[in-house]
Structure 1
Amino acid sequence: MLRTALRNLTAHKARLLMTALAILLGVAFVAGTLVFTETISDAYTKSAEQGYDHMDVQLSPDNKEGEGHPGAAPKLTQHTLDAAEQLPGAKSAVGVVGGFTALADKDGDLVGGGWATTGANYYGETDPRYPLQDGKAPTSQGEVAIDAKTATRTGYHIGDTVRLSVNGPIREEKVTGIFTTDDGNVAAGGSLVLFDTATAQQLFTAEGEFSSIEITAKGGVDQAELKQQAERILPEEAKAVTAHKLASDQAAMVQTQMDGLRTGMLAFAGISLFVGVFLIANTFTMLVAQRAKELALLRAIGASRRQVTRSVLIEAFAVGTLAGLAGLAAGIGIGAGLRSLLGGTGVTVPDGALVVSPATVLVSLAVGIVVTVLAAWLPARRAAKIPPVAAMSALHAAPTVRGLVVRNTIGSILAGAGAALVVVATGQDDGKGLLSLGAGLLLIGVFVLTPLLSRPLIALAAPVLRLFGVAGRLARQNAVRNPRRTSATASALMIGLTLVTGLTVIGMSMANAIDKMSSNAMTADYQITMGGGIGTLAPEVGEKLAALDEVTASTPLRSAPVRLDGDKRENWVTGLDSASAPKLIALDFTEGSFAGLAGDKAIVDTHTAEREGWRLGDSIALTWRDGTPGKLTISGLYQDNQMISGIMLDNAVLSPHLDHPADMMVFVSVKDGVGQASKDSLEAALGDNPAIRVMDEGDVSDEISGVFTMMLNILYALLGMAVIVAVLGVINTLAMSVFERSQEIGMLRAVGLDRRGVKRMVRLESLTISLFGGVLGIVLGVFLGWAAGELIVNAGVPTYTHVLPWGRLGLFLALAALVGVIAALWPARRAAKLNMLAAIKSQ
């Protein structure tokens, strides 16, 4: 039986090759995902560890929830630094200051992508963090040093003048030095600018204050001992952490971030493998059907059912092993390619070797083998049930009426229960779990029912197929001749299009909702923010804009932490200009209005008010950031949205309690309204600052739609593998169908159907099956997209409305048709080339 199984492998090379290709693609995606994420994780982890090589213990503020004043813990002072330098086990101590710093290249564009554009202090000649590669360290205002990677990318050299911004106003500094660094942000494509310590403190903290203190141990003193010594000099709300612990925490954070990416990519690999199961099961089912005589003869000469089952499973095991090995090799290449592709997009990854762990090898092979064997198990059982008497006939018994009734009953129950759960989930505030369960049951139920659904749905295409004459009528009959095979083929395409359609409906609807929310909440002409939403604006920016002749109204939005009486958690309040706000911000008030917002008055969104039990006219007792107590009176209640929510008050009340006032954004309206001239004027007034973005409503909408479009394109690319597997399934089905109908095709040729007619028949059959799967997928995708949208509305996005992107839905249906056309090319050509006499004698 083992020799028989191996002989069958070589006897059906072409058919098993497509099955192996489907497994290979799925395994390659799994292996590529594991290799890519492990390589990136290892590179960042080692980079993080190198970033702490220069120190042994770090002192930093300790932000303990519910203790001290609201907001961040106080910075460390020069006194603590002096004490750290005098520790018995300390070789040296460095005071660190840092924060957001936007650097412009020679074209005036932002370097580093915003999130990784940082600045820090160069402590002195004993500073071990940033070895100088060229020039000298900055020693006074007007001097900076830049990292070597940024210097290479931008072309800056010693003596060049660079433009940068920390919180809005443009600064022009001279480059005095270029340094190397193991900073992970720089390795990832960011930029780092160094100032002298006094300037850095002026920009990021305050005179004599440090963000952290890094201590290096003397020879023979370990980190734990130095940490114990440092704990004796710690001020309140500060902590000491060893470099080993910092590196470990950094590695854990990187691992957590990679876990999210890995999980997402593996989910799409799982979808591809799930779709591949249909192809594998279909292939083995048809191979078993074609070998009915052979298997029955084996039974007749003494082979047991177990031996027949084992023979089919051995074939599956061999195919799965070979495909798994090939998929692993392809996956290693994909992992390396993804890393190179990431670098090509401008994201720099730390140097490191490609990581192929033993776990990746074992998982990849296990996935290939297990998926293939499980998919072949039912066909193997079916093969074992072939009675020896079937050797007397070329045909095996068709499914019984009882079997069809049981199948359709189970499918109806699953689909009905799944649809009911989906509908019930839409009425719940947190119905994600119920929706996922319902969607899974619905997909399985529809898959089980597809043989029943295939006849009536394909019959709808009969009027169109008749236009193609005999070939069209034969194509329809062939498509419904074996409903199980047709349904298994169409289901693979159905699942892929269900996911694509559902994600498209949700993505387009969400983009529309946020666009509408933005336009509803913002009546100002322009919104001014720091690039990428990173960093805050200095009050000087809002003051400069308000002083412009063309500006008719402006208000900065300024936030600060407070602690409500009796509440240990921090709450945030937002300050604005109460006189200008009504002209720039549109809020839906349920009680009160902007008119009462002055002095110690505040407006609160209805969600917060309901949670806290507040009503119009109530007083709110709180503690400000500086520790002083305060009281606000509620003068208005408004409906919150994703743009604006919480407690809002006049900046004149909020600002005195802030050591360093800073604005999240500034809203501005101008005399001439929105236009390129107005935008250019505002940008020029701000010094054409690369760190500051001046956006009108259209820019905000474009930014939002751009994010969703990018996300959808990534999802389309990932789901594309499932569609490729579906194409293989259609090719496989048609090839098997042509083989089974060789005699019939020979008879058709003999009675006058030419080669072109045979090709047209096979193509129309493929087109019909693909459109059947496409229609089912689009309908299910729209339904599940609607259900997910209802959950989004329940989660507090009132502007969400269901959008049916008819253009894209039409494109998806056209792509399903294209799948059918492409998949039919080889089977149609093979059918047309059959020798009619040999075909007639084939059975």
Structure 2
Amino acid sequence: MLRIALRNVLAHKARLTMTILAVLLGVAFVAGTLVFTDSISEAYRSSAEKSFTSVDVRLRPARSPAGPDTGRLLDHALLDRAAALPGVASAKGVVSGFTALSDKHGRMVGEGWATTGANYDARYPMLRGRPPTTRGEVAIDAQTAERTGYRVGDTVRLSVSGPALVATVTGIFTTDDGNVAAGGSLALFDTDTAQQRFAEPGRYNYVDLTAAPGTTAEQLRQRVEALLPYGVEAITATRLAAEQADDNVRDFRTLSQVLLACAGVALFVAAFLIVNTFTVLVTQRSKELALLRAVGASRRQVTRSVLIEAAVIGLTASVAGLAIGIGLGAAVRSMLSATRSTLPDGPLLVEVRTVVVVLALGVGVTVCAAWLPARRATKIPPVAAMSTLYAPATVRSLVVRNTVGAVLASVGTGLTLAAGTMADGKVTLGLGTMLLLTGVFVLTPLLSRPVIAAADPALRRFGVTGKLARQNAVRNPRRTAATASALTIGLTLIAGLNVIGASADRAVHNLAASDYVRGDYVVSMANGAALAPDAAATLRELDEVTAVSPRREIPAVVDGVPQTVVGFRSADIDKLLNLGMTEGTFGAGKTAIVDVETADGSGWHVGDSIDITWPDGIQERLELTGLYHSRFDGGVRTDLSLMDQHLDRVADTSIFVKVDGGASQARQRTLRTALGDSPAIRVKDRRELTNDITGAIGLVLNILYGMLALAVVVAVLGVVNTLAMSVHERTQEIGLLRAIGLDRSGVKRMVRQESVVISLFGGVLGVGLGIFFGWAVGRLVAALGIDTWAFVVPWGRLALVLAAAAVVGVVAAEWPARRAAKLDILAAVRTE
């Protein structure tokens, strides 16, 4: 049976080429993604480890599960106590923070959050010049100096969350800092200057400890924990390196997840092609399989022979895909290195996991897809198969199939509708989507006849070829359905993304037009970091400003649950934001407000008291004085005067500003000038904020469209394969049509029109499902509290999707149509 299986593979090389190519594309995408991600992750990990070669344990502000670190500053007394511990070889205070360095053209250098500044110490060897010793001096890393062209003695502009500063470059140093390798920059100041800019005089952000010989990092960490005040933690250099590597590779990891998801869709689409291919091949070999049964082969052996064929095809495609994927991973890395010279160096990494996953996926998808045709073939009685009197699709089997499909589609529709009424219906929506899609796929043969029949008036205009094309499309509903379903998947996702994107765009514009943001400007840092502590006070002193409130986030524990508490200036907030208060008021003192959803879930009411533990460890009891409707983010909100008592330093990520006379370019310039005209500070009005959000939505959607194009390409291969095999099956029929007068151009038109009909059938199903799923996602978003969400159907874009489906049909039919037209009439008529 093994020899028979291998012989059959070699006998049908041309027909199996499209199947191999489809699996190869999906597998290559998976392999390339894994190789690229693993290589970059390993390079960043090695680079991060070098960043902490002189550190064994770091003392730092504790990080909360609900948000950022506690913001605690470490004083010199803690540094001295840690240095006196047994097993400590050295202890250094570290001060660091965001520092925007401008190049010679005034543009910010680096990659946002990785653009940092710190105090100088001996761990940074000077390549040229000397370390900074006083205010107005700075040293920069060698990679930044090379990129910008700065030399010792040059004057640079930089910003530390506040006004732009001017400093003289006194030295250029080398560093293995992983953030620098990730594309950032590092500027060093003397310790006094760094403390003034990033912390407070005599205080540090971190304390780095080096273990004495004979003491391990873990032993040192355990010893120092007894000294730590509330809100401070000790972690080893190993964990620090892992965190930094994770931070640096986060964007690549997110991209890899998207790529893997799209590759999964492509492989799922390929499964339909495989099912189609093996169904036709098994049907064409029904006499051969029946003869094997007649001479003693068991049903299991026949099934096994078909699955062996599938395994050989899957293995061939997987090996080729793995090789191409490795090449893709290397090529992508080379291209990124050419555009981002700061990517860390490292070898191309092909993990054993990658090889196993790729081979298992390729072989597994192919074998699983081929199992159903193989099983169906063995159910045919040998005598019936040899006499060609056996009809595989009985009325009973069709009734069972349609019943199962109807049940799955009904349950899926019900769950999808129910998800929109739930506070957290993501899982329900996902399950409903899967069931509905499965149900529609099962019902596709039933749906194909009425949908394709609706195209009959248009096809009649093409005369005989149009009529023949329609009849050919509905002749084998199962095959037509499987071919159309492959295209349906990709177009469903694309249509759904179009609906979601258009609805999100409308929601953003509705929000901008609503009174949620009543202020004129939002001030923030380019990297999302904290603004200068005095930024809000500086803006409040301007004559043009009528209201100012920062948005301040700090981690806390509310009634035993870690979460982020948000603070506003209650006296001005009504002029800047519409909080959507449904009950009570937002005021100062030991009070708080909370969103309605959180209050309902916790059983809170206006007048109740809640216990809150602040970052400094102090616990207070607050009175709930109001409830609000959450449009985007909920949770506990308090007045700034209450939370500021428990902070070592103020850290505002954004400031809302209202000016007299409304937004204008002159007012915007005034605000920027007051904040020191820093290159890192962004002052945006509501229109600019709206454009930023819609632009980001469009960018994400365009990336996803590009990724899903792979699934459409695989679907095109499926249409080509189906038409090619259909032409082979109808060789005699085409010969007879040619014999009675149908010319070659007519044969080509017939095949093309059949292809367009099948493609448009898949396109109609895809667009319909996409609109439904886009609407369902919108209901879920609205249920989460975003009341500006509006369901929008972009008919123009969806018409383009259908037009693209028609183009797919024309392109996919080109080779089969030419092949059909070139058939020899006499040879075709004699074909059995």
Do both share a fold (TM > 0.5)? yes
1:217 to partner: Cα distance: 3.4
Q: Aligned residue for 2:580?
A: 588
Superposed CA deviations along residues 438-493 of structure 1, whole A, max 9, x for unmatched, are: 22121111111111110000000011111111111111111101111100000111
Deviation at 1:700, TM superposition (A): 0.8
Which deviates the most, 332-341 or 626-635?
Answer: 626-635
Q: Which residue is 1:778 aligned to? A: 767
Alignment of 1:267-666 (within 5 A): 267-300=261-294, 303-343=297-337, 346=340, 348-389=342-383, 397-520=391-514, 521-539=516-534, 541-548=535-542, 551-559=544-552, 561=554, 569=562, 572-576=565-569, 578=571, 580-591=572-583, 605-607=595-597, 637-642=627-632, 646-649=636-639, 659-666=648-655
Q: Which stretch shifts more, 773-782 or 151-160?
A: 151-160
Q: Which runs of 5+ in 2 are unaligned?
A: none
In structure 2, the CA distance between the partners of 1:83 and 1:409, relative to structure 1 (3 Å rule), is: closer
Q: Counterpart in 2 of 1:792? A: 781
* Structure 2 counterpart SS, 1:206: coil
Q: Cα distance 1:449–1:629, how it changes in 2: closer, same or farther (>3 A)?
A: closer
CA deviation after TM superposition for structure 1 residue 12, in Å? 1.7
TM-superposed CA distance for 1:100, in Å, is 1.6
**C-alpha separation between the residues in 1 aligned to 2:209 and 2:768?**
63
CA shift, 1:98, in A, is 0.9
Structure 1 residues 74 and 574 mapped into 2: Cα distance closer, same or farther (>3 Å)? closer
Q: 1:263/1:154 Cα in 2 relative to 1: closer, same or farther (>3 Å)?
A: same
The answer on whether the counterparts of 2:231 and 2:617 sit within 8 Å (CA) in structure 1 is no
Partner in structure 2 of residue 696 of structure 1 = 685
Q: Does 1:179 align with 2:173?
A: yes
| SS in structure 2 of the partner of residue 316 of structure 1 | helix
Match of 2:46 in 1: 46
How far does residue 726 in structure 1 lie from its aligned partner after superposition? 0.6
Q: Contact between 2:64 and 2:555, CA under 8 Å: does it hold in 1?
A: no
Select the residue among 154, 164, 188 that pairs with 2:158.
Answer: 164
The CA deviation at 1:83 is: 4.2
Alpha-carbon distance, 1:3 to partner: 3.5
Matched position secondary structure for 2:289 = helix
Report deviation, 1:796: 2.2
Q: For the structure 1 residues 614 and 176, does the alpha-carbon distance in structure 2 shift closer, same or farther, using more than 3 Å as the test? A: same
Structure 1 residue 664, shift from structure 2 partner: 3.3
User: 5 Å matches for 1:132-147?
Assistant: 132-147=126-141
- The code of the aligned residue for 1:679 comes to Q
Match of 1:407, as an amino acid?
Answer: R
Deviation string, structure 1 residues 482-519 (Cα, Å, up to 9, x no partner)? 11110000011111122222233233323433443354
Q: CA 1:726–1:640 in structure 2 vs 1: closer, same or farther (change >3 Å)?
A: same
2:822 pairs with 1:833 = yes
Is the contact between residue 531 and residue 692 of structure 1 (CA under 8 Å) also seen in structure 2?
yes
- 8 Å contact from structure 1 (residues 558, 662) kept in 2: no
- Render the CA deviation track for 1:61-105: whole Å, top value 9, x for unaligned: 446899xxx983743222333344455544432211111222222
Shift of 1:835: 1.6
Structure 1's 566 and 522: CA in aligned 2 closer, same or farther, altered over 3 A? closer
1:758–1:214 distance in 2 versus 1, CA, 3 Å: same
Deviation at 1:714, TM superposition (A): 2.1
CA contact (8 A) 2:178 2:245 kept: no
Preserved contact between residue 609 and residue 622 of structure 2 (Cα < 8 Å) = yes
Q: Which residue of 1 aligns with 2:657?
A: 668
- Cα deviation, 1:784-811, whole Å, max 9, x if unaligned, reads 2222222222222222222222222222
Please give the per-residue CA displacement for 1:342-379, whole angstroms capped at 9, x wherever unaligned: 44664843221111112211221122122212211222
Assess if the C-alpha contact under 8 Å between 1:560 and 1:573 holds in 2: yes
CA 1:99–1:515 in structure 2 vs 1: closer, same or farther (change >3 Å)?
Answer: farther
620 and 222 in structure 1: CA distance in 2 versus 1, 3 angstrom threshold: closer
Which amino acid letter does the alignment assign opposite residue 778 of structure 2? Answer: G
Shift of the 479–557 alpha-carbon distance from structure 1 to 2, 3 Å rule, reads same
Give the CA deviation at 1:109.
2.1
Contact (CA 8 Å) 2:156, 2:169: kept in 1 or not?
yes
Give per-residue Cα distances to partners, 1:19-38, cap 9 Å, x unaligned.
Answer: 10111112112222221222
d(CA) in 2 for partners of 1:341, 1:564: 46
Letter in 1 for 2:657: V
Deviation at 1:592, TM superposition (A): 5.8
Q: CA deviation at 1:684?
A: 4.4
Residues 559 and 610, structure 2, Cα contact 8 Å, conserved in 1: no
Is contact 1:2–1:311 with CA below 8 Å preserved after alignment? yes
Secondary structure in 2 aligned to 1:282?
helix
Question: For 2:694 and 2:509, how far apart are their aligned partners in 1?
Answer: 8
- My pick for the range that moved more, 805-814 or 682-691, is 682-691
Q: Is the 8 A contact 2:489 2:766 kept in 1?
A: yes
Change (3 A) 1:201 1:795: same
Q: Give 1:685 shift.
A: 4.6
Say whether 1:747 aligns with 2:736. Answer: yes
Q: Greater CA deviation, 105-114 or 597-606?
A: 597-606
- Which residue in 2 is equivalent to 1:815? 804
Query: Counterpart of 1:112?
Result: 110
Aligned-partner residue type, residue 332 of structure 2: L
Is the contact made by 1:61 and 1:239 (CA closer than 8 Å) also made in structure 2?
Answer: yes
Aligned to 1:766: 755
CA contact (8 A) 1:771 1:813 kept: yes
Kept after mapping to 2: 8 A contact 1:555/1:577: no
Q: 1:28/1:86 Cα in 2 relative to 1: closer, same or farther (>3 Å)? A: same
Return the alpha-carbon distance in structure 1 between the equivalents of residues 616 and 248 of structure 2. 35
1:683 to 672, 681, 691: 672
Letter in 1 for 2:209: I
Conserved 8 A contact 2:179-2:248: no
Q: Which moved more, 1:795-804 or 1:635-644?
A: 635-644
RMSD between superposed Cα atoms in Å: 3.3
Q: Which amino acid aligns with 2:127?
A: Q
Q: Which residue of 2 aligns with 1:190?
A: 184
Alignment partners' CA distance in 2, 1:350 and 1:114: 18
Structure 2 distance, partners of 1:676, 1:519, is 20
Residue 121 (structure 1) aligned to one of 115, 119, 122: 119
- Change in Cα spacing, 1:569 to 1:268, as seen in structure 2 (3 Å) is closer
Structure 1 residue 224: deviation in Å? 4.4
Give CA-to-partner distance per residue, 1:602-634, whole Å, 9 cap, x none. Answer: 766545665676666778887777788888777
What amino acid maps onto 2:348 in structure 1? L
Give the CA deviation at 1:692.
Answer: 0.9
- Equivalent-residue separation in structure 2 for 1:317 and 1:793 (angstroms): 47
Q: Is the CA contact (8 Å cut-off) linking 1:44 and 1:184 kept in structure 2?
A: yes
The whole-number CA distance in structure 1 between the counterparts of 2:665 and 2:473 is: 59
**More divergent stretch after superposition (667-676 vs 348-357):** 667-676
Q: Residue type matched to 1:585 in 2?
A: L
Moved more, 622-631 or 9-18: 622-631
Counterparts of 2:742 and 2:276 in 1: how far apart (Å)? Answer: 29
How far 1:698 sits from its partner (Å)? 1.5
Kindly indicate whether the alpha-carbon contact (under 8 Å) linking 2:230 and 2:617 is maintained by their aligned counterparts in 1.
no
Q: In the superposition, relative to structure 1, how do residues 798 and 348 fare at CA in structure 2: closer, same or farther (>3 Å)?
A: farther
Alignment length, in residue pairs?
Answer: 830
Distance 1:38 1:158 in 2: 38
Equivalent-residue separation in structure 2 for 1:313 and 1:80 (angstroms): 69
The gaps in structure 1 that reach 5 residues or longer are none
Q: More displaced, 671-680 or 697-706?
A: 671-680
Q: Which amino acid aligns with 1:789?
A: G
- Percent of paired sites with the same residue: 56
